[in-house]
Amino acid sequence: MSSHPTLAAERLFAELSGLEPTQRATRLAEACAGNEALREEVEALLDAAERGAAHFDGLRRRLGLDRLEPGPPTREPVSTDQFAPRRAVDALEATGSAVGPYRLIREIGSGGMGSVWLAERVDLLQGRQVALKLPHAVGAAWRRAGLAERLAREREILATLEHPHIARLYDAGLGATGQPYLALEYVQGEPIDRHAQARGLTVRQRIELFLQVCDAVAHAHARLVVHRDLKPGNILVDAEGQVKLLDFGIAKLMEGDAADATELTRELGQVLTPGYAAPEQIEGRPLGTAADVYSLGVVLYELLTGARPYAPGAGGRAALLHAVLQAEPRRPSEAAPDEATRRRLEGDIDTIVLKALKKAPQDRYASVAALADDLRRHLAHEPVLARPDGAAYRARKFAQRHRAAVVAASAALLSLTAGLGIAAWQAVEARAQRDAALRAKALADEQAAAARAAERVAVAEADLSSFLVSDLTAERDGADMLAQLDRALTMVRAQYALQPELRGRMLLSLAQNYRWVSLHERADALFAEAEPLLQAAGQQAALAQLTCIRGTSLARAGALTEARARLASGTAMAMQAGEAAIGAQIECLIESAWTERYASAPRRAAELVGQALALVQRTGRGNSELASEALNQLSRAQFESGQFRAAAESAQRSIEMLQRIGREHTPGLRNAWGMRAKSLREGGQPLQALVAHGAEGRFEPAGPDLPTPMREDYAVTLLRLGRFAEARALADDVRRQTRAQGDPNMERFAAITQLRTAAALGRREDVRRLKTEALALFAPLARASSLRMRALHLAELDAALDLGQAEAAQGALAAARGVLDRLGDPASPQWLDLHRGEARLALLRHDPGAALRALEPALAIAQAQSIDAQASLLMAEVLLLRAQAHRANGDLSASRADAAAAQRHATTSAGPAHPMARLAQSLGT
């Protein structure tokens, strides 16, 4: 199942445990002569035992375990060899015994810190075989407060690691005796190095095998899980040549967060294999993904050469640790087993491996994906992005290691060359200038190609990260997703503390994710933190993007003039950066569209999104999440300008694109379905909207896990369908939810829906109360000529008309008209609501002539806005009002004709039970 100490190591460890230190060292050197791997295994077991003995008594006192009631015996009494392997099977770990919901079948491995058993689950998941890890327990030490909760919490995090090359962690918990267990996927295979050696794989085949490992590690890093113990024994290859990473996340369970080691760490010691551990891991510094990059470098080195970068020599473990921290590794080509392999490794492979093995985390590859990309470039005979260490770098390292000798030699050399230097300079100056010009051109060409390649890599990595985060967003509730983002923020600040330019980019990306889940205040704070870092690094494209995003934030706050100035500045920066900032140019167009929508200029917003989509297509990103989001933005702009058919079609294009590129479980797809549903409803097709709200059966549209805007929109659709009681119950729930979330904007819309449903149900007291509450909620927006104020006045108008309150209706009508007149947009879809309201008010005042006059423009707008002018609830409502006006005017023939047409429209678009269909039927008889 996993890499555990060999039987030879365990036997030697047991022998050495009973010896004095001096005898132990002599016996170890004698027994391990010529066998470095055996020495390392035994030293690791000895180290674990020493740390366990030294820390256990203090640990029990800190945790208060010495005061706990003794529990059922689990293992032999505590002693200084508590972490030594137990070869005798005791009462707890015996074939047929139960540990939690698992029955032990047979032991498949044992080591200094625990044993591994083949086991099967015997409850509801009966029959599934797992590899059950049982860390060696110490009396009642495991039965302490909080451990079960900690294991459960970590299990949920690690359960997100769903990758074909990662052995799954199925379960983590405590058995009846309080001992922790870890249930993992049972894998039959052999370590990657042995697999490659046994099959005589070529260098290319070994790299291709290693790339499977990189893909798996990159997948976990994107979910903020670091392995911390990568080594060949934890990387198995099955009979089909497929890699499986083992123990992914077990190190996290044992160590906890970098800043706060868990009690498990202090009990069992740091999870660390010296030969593969990064320098920062050996020194006990905080760990990030760079530690796994280093370990992968060691694994790749060993996979290609059969040796490791550092050999401990006679000094044993101490010498090995010193080498990892201080010495420079041999080039892989120098450690190659034969001449053919040496030639194959020289150049790119040497460069790639040595970059992964840099001492300082910031000098390594920025990510596992970047390491993998360079390997793929090498296999494709393309230039790699890593560069060999220059002479200056090597000289600086030599000087650091031999400071005193270098100082003395430098003084003598300076004296010797002072006279010769002037003559030499004159002889080579002309030649140097010529060569420098040629080198500069070659370097410029090379750097341009590398920059283009790096941009493609960065775009792909950002797209992958965006997908992973958005996929998590769709599958988790808000609190869990927020915790995930907070963990990512902590990691970014720690890992990139010494790389401000990368930290700025990562903060920008995280801020966008906070913004994605509507946490605008947190996003704005991170944007402000990232801005000076991007400025200092001269990252003009990212700075342009950030400038435009912050412009939209100003527009959201109502500062439209300042917002447009900021957007103009960001757009100019993006244009000046040229082709290198195409992404920023697209972002600025989309952000400008947001601002125009905030300014109630949706047609201008649609034009800007159209420009963004054209640019997306030109850059070859027509099938991407960026393109789908631009389509969603286009759909919103079309919706707000009353182009409901176009809005529904744009949303459908976004849906199909996201499904085509594998984004079926992301918020983007959910939002696209929401826009399609709204567009269908407002375009007169509420029955079709009902289906779209559930994404054709993919989720429950009223489900509490859905975002509140989507639940509120569903309540409006229920209202349009005449399902007033259901709409009211959902609106009540949404309003409670938005109030608890501190989201005043969504609470305003929920209050409007409550007001409309109360009026439709004829609840006068509710209407009076809800109107007062809605006015209080909208008071901060009273001076704004926005969509939200229009929505309030039109809701007041309909509520007053439903209750027959002519004076109240007249006041709301005047307020709504005032807002629409100020906006100066004759195509605004709200004009239909206004004209219908005028007609209803005229009928309430027994003025059918005025009603018919108001219905003329209403009918024209309804026809233009209807997705299907032959079957539209918009048409049904206008025709029904006209039928009533004709009847009041004494024209029964015209009334019956309009009523029949209204019934046909209402029945087709909203069903025969709809109130309009029933009323039209009664008028037509």
> Strand 129-135 relative to strand 102-111: parallel, antiparallel, unpaired?
unpaired
Phi, psi of 181 (to 5 degrees): -135, 155
Encoded amino acid at 364, one letter: R
Q: Look at the alpha carbons of 389, 390, 391, 392 in this order and tell me if their dihedral is positive or negative.
A: negative
The 3-state DSSP class for residue 264 equals helix
Which of 392, 351, 533, 373 shows the shortest CA–CA distance to 458? 373
CA distance 85 to 897: 92
Check if the beta carbon of residue 837 is closer than 8 Å to that of residue 654.
Answer: no
Phi, psi of 136 (to 5 degrees): -60, 120
Check if the beta carbon of residue 139 is closer than 8 Å to that of residue 75.
Answer: yes
Check if the beta carbon of residue 303 is closer than 8 Å to that of residue 232.
Answer: yes
Check if the beta carbon of residue 685 is closer than 8 Å to that of residue 676.
Answer: no
- DSSP one-letter string for 661-723: TT-TTSHHHHHHHHHHHHHHHHTT-HHHHHHHHTTTTTS-TT-TTS-HHHHHHHHHHHHHTT-
Measured between alpha carbons, how far is residue 394 from residues 359, 549, 733 in Å? 14, 43, 67
Q: Do you know the residue count of the chain? A: 925
Only one residue has tokens 């219908």, namely 836
Q: Which residues contact 677 (CB under 8 A, 6 or more apart)?
A: 689, 690, 692, 693, 713, 714, 717
CA distance 355 to 297: 8
Which of 81, 34, 63 shows the shortest CA–CA distance to 145? 63
| CA torsion angle 261 326 292 52 (round to 10) | -30
**Percent composition of the chain: helix, strand, coil (DSSP 3-state, to 5):** 65, 5, 25
Measured between alpha carbons, how far is residue 787 from residues 602, 630, 643, 729, 862 in Å? 11, 22, 16, 25, 19
Measured between alpha carbons, how far is residue 803 from residues 334, 758, 765, 920 in Å? 90, 10, 11, 20
DSSP H/E element including 395: helix 391-401
Check if the beta carbon of residue 666 is closer than 8 Å to that of residue 657.
Answer: no
CA distance 207 to 710: 47
Angle between helices 764-778 and 787-802 (to 10 degrees): 170
CA distance 503 to 534: 9
Positions marked catalytic: 229
Phi, psi of 796 (to 5 degrees): -60, -40
Measured between alpha carbons, how far is residue 130 from residues 168, 246, 625 in Å? 10, 13, 38
Which of 620, 633, 619 shows the shortest CA–CA distance to 668? 633
Which of 734, 687, 743 shows the shortest CA–CA distance to 712? 734
CA distance 806 to 882: 19
Check if the beta carbon of residue 720 is closer than 8 Å to that of residue 910.
Answer: yes
CA distance 631 to 837: 33
Positions of E strands within 7-128: 98-99, 102-111, 114-121
